[in-house]
Amino acid sequence: MTMRRTITILGATGSIGTSTLDLVERDPEAFEIVALTAQRDVAGLAAAARRTRARLAVIGDETLIAPLREALAGSDVEAAAGADAIAEAAALGADWTMAAIVGTAGLRPTMAALGHGRTVALANKESLVSAGALMTEAARQAGATLLPVDSEHNAVFQCFPHHDVSQVKRVILTASGGPFRTMPRDEMARVTPAQAVKHPNWSMGAKISVDSATLMNKGLELIEAHHLFPVGADRFAVIVHPQSVVHSMVEYVDGSVLAQMGTPDMRTPIAHTLAWPKRMGTPCAPLDLAEVGRLDFEEPDLGRFPALGLAMAALAAGGARPAVLNAANEVAVAAFLDGRIGFLDIVLIVEKVLERYDPAPPASIDEALAIDAEARAVARTATELQTA
C-alpha cells in the first residue's frame, strides 16, 4: 500500500483553492486532507471539509466560528477561527500545502508552512513580492521545496530544469493584456469593476482579475520571478500574447527558446506542483493548436499601462519598494472594487504611496508586516483624498 500524501489548502474556497480541491477529490486514495482554510465563506468551507473528510476547517473571520461549528455539526471535522488559527493550521506540517490566500494576508501562514521543510505550492504571489528575500531564505534554511503555481512561473520552472542561471539569457513572461488591451486610456477612466473582472481567457478571483486589467499583475509577476529564478533583474522581459497559450519562455545563451504551452486552465500548473517531480492526468481540455489557429505577440504598452512601469522600477530599486507597491495596490484595488475610485486612480494611488513612503528593507517577517501595514495606512489616506 502506498502512503497517502497529507495536504493542506490555505484559501480553499477561492478560485485556486477550488481548482486544487477539484484535482485532489478525483483521487481520494492518494490524498488525505489535514486542513482547509477560508476567510468568510462558511458554507463553501464546511461543504469542502465534509466532502474531503478534512481533519480541520479554519475560518479567518472570528465572528463566524458559531456558524462554522453549526455547519460542521455531526461531522468529525474540527473547527477553528482567526488569523492565528490559520497560521497554526499551516504549521501542522502537511506533506504538501497549497498557499492560495490572496494578498499579504497569506504571508504568515505561508511562512509557517515553509518552516516544516516540506513542499509548498505557491499561488499567493503578493507574499513573495512583499517579503521574497525573507521567504526564499526561510525555505532554504528549512529545506522546503517551493513550487510555483502562477502559470507563468510554473512555465518557467518547467523550461528551466537545471537552474543554471549562467546559461539563461532571458526569462520572458507572457501577458494576456487583459480585458482592456486595445482600449484607449480615456475610455479606461470609465470602466466598471464588472468590466475589469471579466478576463478574456482566465477565470480568477476579483483582485487578480483587476491586476490583470491594469497589468499590475504582470509587474507583481516580474518581482515574483526575480525571487524564484535569480537570473538578475535585468534579464526579465514581458511580452503580450492575447491567446494565453504560451505561458512563458526561457531563452538560453545558444539562442534556444523553450516555451511551455497549454489551454488556459490553472488545473494544469496546480497538477504539475501536486505530482512533481512526476506528472498526473487532469480533466483540462487538450491544446488544439489547429483550432487556436494563430499565436500573436506584441510589446506591452507602458503608456496605457503605467502600473507595469511602476513595478519594473520597484524591482530595479529593490529593498522595500516592491512591498510598498504591493500594499498600496491591494488597498487601491479594494477601493476600486467597492466603487470608491475609478480604474485609472488605482495606479495614481500606488504612485503617490511610493512617493510618500520609502522605508528601509525589512529584516524580519514582523518588519515586513509593519511596512505592509504602514503602506496600507498611507494608501488609505491617498484613497480618501482621491474620492474627496
* Residue 17 site contact among Mg ion, ligand NAD, none (CB < 5 to 8 Å, cut-off depends on kind): ligand NAD
Q: What angle do CA 206, 6, 128 make, to 5 degrees?
A: 40
Instruction: Determine if 86 is a binding residue for ligand NAD (CB under 6 A).
Output: yes
Q: Supply the minimum distance, in Å, between the C-beta of residue 225 and ligand NAD.
A: 13
**Choice between 101 and 134, CB closer to ligand NAD:** 101
Instruction: Determine if 215 is a binding residue for ligand NAD (CB under 6 A).
Output: no
Q: Supply the minimum distance, in Å, between the C-beta of residue 26 and Mg ion.
A: 24
**Choice between 101 and 173, CB closer to ligand NAD:** 101
Instruction: Determine if 228 is a binding residue for ligand NAD (CB under 6 A).
Output: no
Question: Among residue numbers 41 through 60, which ones bind ligand NAD (CB under 6 A)?
Answer: 41, 60
Residue 277, preceding bond cis, omega within 30 degrees? yes
150, 211, 251, 351: which one binds Mg ion (CB under 5 A): 150
**How many residues can be counted in the chain?**
388
| CB-nearest residue to ligand NAD | 14
Which alpha helices (H) appear in the chain, and where do they start and end? 15-25, 42-52, 65-71, 83-90, 107-114, 125-142, 151-159, 185-188, 193-196, 206-214, 216-228, 267-275, 289-292, 306-317, 321-337, 345-356, 365-387
Q: Supply the minimum distance, in Å, between the C-beta of residue 99 and ligand NAD.
A: 8
Q: Supply the minimum distance, in Å, between the C-beta of residue 292 and Mg ion.
A: 19
Give the list of residues 6+ apart from residue 183 with CB closer than 8 angstroms, or none: 191, 304
Instruction: Determine if 13 is a binding residue for ligand NAD (CB under 6 A).
Output: yes
Angstrom CA distances, 124 to 9, 41, 268, stand at 12, 18, 17
14, 132, 219, 300: which one binds ligand NAD (CB under 6 A): 14
- Take residue 362 and report the three cell numbers written for it: 525589512
* Residue 101 site contact among ligand NAD, Mg ion, none (CB < 5 to 8 Å, cut-off depends on kind): ligand NAD
Cα distance between residue 209 and residue 215, in whole Å = 10
Instruction: Determine if 211 is a binding residue for Mg ion (CB under 5 A).
Output: no
> Could you say which DSSP state residue 201 is in?
S
3-state SS class at 301:
coil
Instruction: Determine if 38 is a binding residue for ligand NAD (CB under 6 A).
Output: yes
Instruction: Determine if 126 is a binding residue for Mg ion (CB under 5 A).
Output: no
Cα distance between residue 171 and residue 156, in whole Å = 7
Footprint of ligand NAD (CB under 6 A): 11-17, 38-39, 41, 60, 86, 100-102, 105, 123-126, 150, 202, 204-205, 207-208, 266
